[in-house]
Structure formats: C-alpha cells, structure tokens
Amino acid sequence: MTIQWFPGHMAKARRQVTEKLKQIDVVIELLDARLPLSSRNPMIDEIVANKPRLILLNKADLADSSVTDMWVQYFKGLGVRTLPIDALSGKGVNKLPLLCQELASEMLQKRTDKGMQARAVRIMILGIPNVGKSSLINRLAKRSVAQTGDRPAVTKSQQWVKMGDTLELLDTPGILWPKFEDQMVGLRLAASGAIKDELIDFGEVALFAVRYMMHYYPERLQDRFKVSELPEDGVEMLEMIGKKRGCMASGGHIDYDKAAELFLRELRSGKLGEVSLERPLDWEMEVPIGKPRSIYDE
C-alpha cells in the first residue's frame, strides 16, 4: 500500500505560513504523542528556521506514558522544549502561556531596550491534520473559536486568536508532506486516524498495528479480547478478533475488512489502553514487528 495525501489547500498553507512567519515570536509544533516523529512534518524545520519553538505532545492520554517520557528526553537532547498535553481535557495546557513567555523573553527584552511599546507574544501553531490544533486553541481561548472534528483537515484557513493581553495565536491548516518516502510513517499515521479512511487499506493498516501490539502490548490484546494466549501470526490475531466480535461474512467466514476496521476504531478511541505506535528506537533501527518477541527483549 502506498499512502499519498496532499490536498491543494495544504500546499497553499505552506506558502501562507512562510509569509506569516515574520510576524511570529514563538512557534508551537503540535505532535501526536502516540507517534511524535511520524506526525512531524519534515518541512517544518526548514520553514521555521531559527524561531523559538515549543513541541507539544498532544493526546498524551492515549499514549503509553513511559514511551512519552522517552520522547521528551529525545527532544530534550535536540535542545527543544517539550510538553505532553491533552487538549481535550486540558491536562498540561495551563503551563503553555508561561512557557511561551519564557521562549519569547529575549525578543521582549529587545523591544524594551529599544523603547518600543510592549505587545502580546505572537504564536503560530503548526501540525499535521487531526493532531488537535483546533481543540488546543479552543482550550487556550476558553471559548469555541476554532472548528473541531474527528476528520483530518477540518481547518482550512488562518485566523488570529487573542488570549487576553499577553498572547495572540495564529491558527493554520494542517500541513502534510506530498509523499511518504517511508511507508512505515504512512502506516502509523493511518493507524492513528490522521489520514482519511477512504484513502487507506484497513486490512494492511490493522495488520501493522496488530503486529506492533503483539510485540509491545500483548497483555492489552489478551485483556481486551479475553484470550489467555495470542497466536503467533498477525493474520491469525485479526481472525481471532473477528470471531470474538462477530465479524462474519456469508458462509461462516471471517470478514477481515470489518474486523480490521473494528480493531482500528478501538485502538484510536483508547479502548485498547494507552498505546504508543512508535519509539525513538524505531527510528534508529526499524524493528521487523511480528517476529518472535524474545529476539527483541530490551
């Protein structure tokens, strides 16, 4: 399966972001805590350049907290401030204004030294579709000012959002790169729901996610689907899920597409527990998920 998705408004968004960047003091890069690097647009480093930056790991409530800690240390090693949050519940979001003020302190001091009038810190929020930008803005503004939805690419325009006298946020449409050179990235994004379901093969995406969970989270699968032992193969696992959930086709056969879609829905909603779909190690050496677990004991 080759996943490619680059709606025209996203190309326009990149141009708009580049044009607006001169007005920005701090860039907030919003990532999915379950797959930080896969949900990170590689063009952002080029676009943002040397602007002060804060990385937020959103949907941290759905991610494995121990893995999220690994990612915080990973980005710390790159010299980037990182904060896990949950925009929907508001967890961690209250720390954001102060962090932005700290990151913009040098700029604020320069304005003061030049005798210029104080103004609000101007912030740009960047992220791929469906990572939670609109939910974050609404939470920060304490009112509904940005459209939200469970579909990717809900935001298609830019708007300034004032937050009292200290912060101003610029919302931007999600930006997704035009081609996935690494198909593992595409599979992780598809599993998380960042790519429109009409564009993915449920069976292939679910098989990837099932194999990943069989390797890292076997107990979650056992608990959720009430089995004492997991099969050795991901296809057999999907078949087991289909039987457990009544995903049957005519003739008493398993409806694999239905079982795959059901599994992905439960994974995305958190019914399978707190699950991270990638770890820093996965980027150092892609682990061939689905092989005997003992080979990769950490």
CA–CA dist 79, 50 (Å, integer): 12
Tell me: the pLDDT tens digits for 169-219?
886 666 666 556 678 888 999 999 988 888 889 999 999 999 999 999 999
Domains and CATH numbers, the chain: 8-171 (3.40.50.300), 201-296 (1.10.1580.10)
Give the pLDDT of residue 171: 67
Confidence category of residue 142, pLDDT binned at 50, 70, 90: confident
Give the whole-angstrom CA distance, residue 235 versus residue 194.
24
Average pLDDT on 102-130 reads: 87
pLDDT confidence of residue 156: 43
Q: For 236-247, give one letter per residue: b (16+ CB within 10 A) or e.
A: ebbbbbbeeeeb
Average pLDDT over residues 113-127: 88
pLDDT > 70 in the chain, percent:
82
Q: If you average pLDDT over residues 249-263, what whole number do you get?
A: 92
**β-bridge pairing 167-171 and 159-163:** antiparallel
170 three-state secondary structure: strand
Chain-centroid distance of CA 169 in Å reads 20
Contacts of 23 (CB under 8 A, 6+ apart): 122, 170
Tally of residues, the chain = 298
- At residue 297, the pLDDT reads 37
**What average pLDDT does this structure show over 32-52?**
88
Q: What angle do CA 4, 7, 8 make, to 5 degrees?
A: 135
Q: Which residues pair with 123 in a beta bridge?
A: 26, 169
pLDDT given for residue 247 in this prediction: 93
Residue 186 sits at the vertex; the CA angle it makes with 189 and 27, to the nearest 5 degrees, is: 55
Q: How confident is the model at residue 268 (pLDDT cuts 50, 70, 90)?
A: very high
Across the chain, where does the E strand assignment appear? 26-32, 53-58, 81-84, 121-126, 159-163, 167-171
Q: Where in 87-245 does DSSP place strands (E)?
A: 121-126, 159-163, 167-171
Question: Distance (Å, rounded) from C-alpha 293 to C-alpha 271?
Answer: 24
The predicted model scores a pTM of: 0.85
pLDDT digits (tens, 9 = 90+) for 144-157: 765 554 444 444 45
